[in-house]
Amino acid sequence: MPTMVHVLCCSLALLLVSAAMAQDEAAAARRVARLGERSVVYFVQAPTEPASPAWRPLIVWFASAVGEEAAASAWRERGEPLAKCGFVVVSATLTANPADLEPLFAELRRTFRIEQGGLHAAAFGDTALAVQAVLAHRHEFQTFTAVGDAGKADLAALRRLPARRVHSLATIDADEIGRHFVQLHAQRSSPGAGGDVARALDDFHDAAANGDEARYFTIFPSDAVFLGTDGTERWTGSEFRAFAMPYFQRDSAWTYVPLQRHVTVEPGDALAWFDEVLDNAAYGECRGSGVLVKRAERWVLRQYNLTVPLPNDLSRSVAARIRAFVDGVAPAVSTVVVVRHAEKVDASADAALSAEGEVRAEALAVVLRDLPIAAVYTSPFQRTAATVAPLCKQRAVTSVAVPADDGKSLAAMLRKQHAGQCALVCGHSNTVPALLKALGVTEPVTIADGEFDRLFVVTMGPDGTRLLSLRYAGK
């Protein structure tokens, strides 16, 4: 009969064997991605390990803590159940700097054919670093799922990303998590000929991401047409191949990750057209559209049109920049300097400047002496006129009094009458913030009763309105 000591020894031996097996398993899954001098440790769990890259959906699972041990732990707990559902699962070593993960994503695209192009992201526990990582590499990901307590995190920044699917999953049950990702991935899967077209497009983008010239131009033959983002970019397939040759000498020509796609296949399964939403590290959200035909039982492109969608709110400023570029001139930039009047002698309704205020008025003329001020506006009160009087005398300019409480009308007049010029406005502690807002300044501005040294420089151009907030001394 075995003794208690014997039983304990056997149990301990089994534990040691199990621990050794777990260490061996983790060691086999451990990989290092390198890009120049930067490297990142990651762990991979896959349904199979094919001899050559195979198309697989891929999940990047972010641990709640940083470091290799946390990544290995997340891999052990989450990797195997998801791998049984058909996913490649990667757990990465997080750091405080999300940019450090760049080698990982380059390595994953070299190692795997990522089904649908975009990665799935998941986080368990504290999501702060995971959210930062996804935001820093947003062009790599199509979904983000916060699991367990992580589901209570603020994911607003991720939800603002175009075309992303962001979810919170309260459960920590492995089977439910697996079903969630299977359903999530299936939402972008298409059956039949539509699915074959989608795979051809994924192959097209993957070939570019891996610098595979032969594969890319098999899908984009010599009689295809590529329309680029620049109005001059219209190439046949052979012309585009000659243009792109230097890019395909690199490890990656370019990476555009599809996030959404619509495919229509004509009856007979010989002609298809599509439109897709893409993300790119340099250009951000893009749109691709075009036509494919079936040749020798495979889908090839006949046209690909790449565009950068322009939000309506930005269209006018971008159009102005394009016109200025075509005309060979610098786009007009208007500058409005806004100040509060200097110190006043008393609290009466139309008080004059105090001796201190007169000194500050002289200082204002010195501070703005190098600005090409074309016009000066004040409120109807003498303290504002007196504040700009030294400057007006210096410039031989007459100030114009305008209603103090109508910032919108004044802002509209400044834009219309002084486009491309510099104007000065002197107002009050309650009218200056209102005027700044009417000029397009989004930052909230408040001026305390005792503050007379505030000076605001507002620039308005094709890129929008910008504010420079300064102070100037009167003594």
The domain limits of the chain are 28-186, 193-307, 334-471
pLDDT of residue 16: 37
How far apart CA 365 and CA 391 sit, in angstroms, is: 4
pLDDT of residue 240: 97
What the block records as the tokens of 254 is 């370019």
Note the pLDDT tens digit of each residue in 272-281: 999 999 999 9
Domain 28-186 has CATH 3.30.700.30: no
pLDDT > 70: what percent of the chain? 91
pLDDT band at 201 (very low <50, low <70, confident <90, very high): very high
Pick from 34-38, 50-54, 188-192, 353-357: least confident: 50-54
pLDDT band at 473 (very low <50, low <70, confident <90, very high): confident
Using the predicted structure, report yes or no on whether residue 5 has a pLDDT greater than 50: no
Strand partners, 111: none
What single letter denotes the amino acid at residue 329? V
pLDDT of residue 70: 81
Please tell me which residue, 66 or 59, carries the higher pLDDT value: 59
pLDDT of residue 3: 53
Q: Is the dihedral of CA 442, 443, 446, 447 positive or negative?
A: negative
pLDDT of residue 25: 60
pLDDT band at 37 (very low <50, low <70, confident <90, very high): confident
Q: Tell me how far CA of residue 290 lies from CA of 122, 228, 263, 274, in angstroms.
A: 33, 12, 10, 6
pLDDT of residue 15: 38
Pick from 147-156, 211-220, 342-351, 416-425: least confident: 147-156
- What is the arithmetic mean of pLDDT over 298-326? 88
Using the predicted structure, report yes or no on whether residue 4 has a pLDDT greater than 50: no
Q: Say if 28-186 and 334-471 have the same CATH topology.
A: yes
Please tell me which residue, 457 or 315, carries the higher pLDDT value: 457
Specify the CATH number of the domain 193-307: 3.10.450.50
Note the pLDDT tens digit of each residue in 404-416: 888 899 999 999 8
253, 111 Cβ separation under 8 angstroms? no
How far apart CA 229 and CA 125 sit, in angstroms, is: 41
Query: For 254, which DSSP code?
Result: -
- Burial degree of 76 (CB within 10 A; 0-12, 13-18, 19+): middle
335, 422 Cβ separation under 8 angstroms? yes
Note the pLDDT tens digit of each residue in 147-167: 876 556 678 899 999 899 999
Note the pLDDT tens digit of each residue in 289-310: 999 999 999 999 999 999 999 9
How far apart CA 135 and CA 245 sit, in angstroms, is: 31
Q: Is the dihedral of CA 229, 233, 237, 242 positive or negative?
A: negative
How far apart CA 318 and CA 465 sit, in angstroms, is: 13
Quote the distance between the C-alpha of residue 143 and its chain's center.
Answer: 15
φ, ψ at 205 (rounded to 5°): -70, -40
- Which residue's structure tokens are 């114009």? 400
How far apart CA 433 and CA 405 sit, in angstroms, is: 11
Task: List, as one string, the DSSP characters of 119-170.
Answer: EEEEEES--HHHHHHHHHTGGGEEEEEEEGGGGGS--HHHHTSTT-EEEEE-
pLDDT band at 12 (very low <50, low <70, confident <90, very high): very low
pTM here is 0.71
What is the distance in angstroms between the CA of the first residue and the CA of the last residue of the chain?
100
pLDDT of residue 364: 96
- 5 Rama class: left (phi>0) / alpha (psi -120 to 50) / beta: alpha
Note the pLDDT tens digit of each residue in 67-93: 788 888 878 877 888 888 899 999 888
How far apart CA 65 and CA 121 sit, in angstroms, is: 16
- Rg of the chain on CA atoms, in Å: 32
How far apart CA 275 and CA 241 sit, in angstroms, is: 22
Containing 207, the helix (H) or strand (E) segment is helix 192-209
Tell the CATH topology of 334-471: Rossmann fold (3.40.50)
pLDDT of residue 100: 84
Please tell me which residue, 151 or 213, carries the higher pLDDT value: 213
- Which residue's structure tokens are 């534990």? 15
Task: Please provide the average confidence, as pLDDT, over all residues in the chain.
Answer: 88
- What is the arithmetic mean of pLDDT over 422-426? 96
Q: Tell me how far CA of residue 5 lies from CA of 12, 14, 16, 174, 192, in angstroms.
A: 10, 14, 16, 37, 64
